[in-house]
Amino acid sequence: MNPTTRNRLKKLIGYPAFFAFALLLMLYLTFPYDALTQTARSQAKEAGIELEIGKLGPGLLGFKASRISLKMPKQPEQTKEPEPLFIDSVSVRPSLLPVGAKFSAALFGGSLEGNYGMLGAPKVKLRAKGLNLLRSNAKEAIGLDLDGTLNAVVDLKVNPADHSKTEGRIALLGDGLAVNGGTVAHYDLPKVDLGRLEAELKLEGGKANVATFRVNGKDLEASLEGEITLAAKAMLSQLKLQLQFKPAEEFLRRNSLIQTGLNFAMSKDNKGFYGGSVSGVLGKPRFQAKR
């Protein structure tokens, strides 16, 4: 390449490319992160969530937030204010395939990653690995002292204006799950070994069908089947579910009050399973015991 051609290429390609890079770098470094923090807090507050971000700044081709706390709204049965859930860090950057945003988070000793597609109906994909529930601060936040690890897959096409049109699947896989105690609706819970959880929910045609829901632990076996009729507002979705569960004999011996209550309120089948229906709406479910 002769010097004249090289100089022309510098003028036509090199200088504009350098100017564009310098402009993007300036925008990247001088982005109003304080304003973004305030906007995130305001949007969370509208949903009843108290959001605090320890640090928000530039990350790899995007931005990164660290030392995040989420305080969920107080539920009617809670006697004291919930404590926040903590997230170590969240990174967000733009993506081309799909057009939207990619994100990742470090929380509860595990990881969460996914993307949000913005063309057409928003598409949400999440992959959670190795979430340690013992590190989730769930006891202080929701009243349940949880243990075990949880993996999850969420793949949804969402209609924010009408949740009845949401489609896709949600799958959960848990190991070593346990409730080590806690208080729910003023009732002190005993320790329950739940063992392994396998669950999958398929959403299509305005319904969420329970494809799989099994719990198999030392203290409890349980299964759930049925469907949820999705509503425009998610918490108004109608439940039509059947629950079966079988507490272990050793668990009932340790918790005689539970055994007495079950014998009084419910009947069991010839395999030792109690059952009942779950109806009402997602925001306020009702359980009707099978007698």
Q: Is the pLDDT reported for residue 196 higher than 90?
A: yes
* Amino acid 100: pLDDT: 77
Amino acid at 291: R
> Could you report the per-residue pLDDT of 33-92, keeping only the tens digit for each?
676 677 777 877 777 778 888 887 776 667 788 888 877 776 665 566 777 778 888 888
Which bin fits 223, alpha (ψ -120 to 50), beta or left (φ > 0)? beta
pTM: 0.74
Q: What is the mean pLDDT of the chain?
A: 81
* Amino acid 5: pLDDT: 52
Which of the listed ranges 2-6, 78-82, 134-138 does the model predict with the highest average pLDDT? 134-138
Domain boundaries in the chain? 19-91
Beta bridge partner(s), residue 27: none
Q: What span, in angstroms and rounded, lies between the C-alpha atoms of 125 and 96? A: 15
* Amino acid 8: pLDDT: 52
Reduced to 3 states (helix: H, G, I; strand: E, B; else coil), residue 33 is helix
CA atoms within 13 Å, Cβ hemisphere of 20: 6
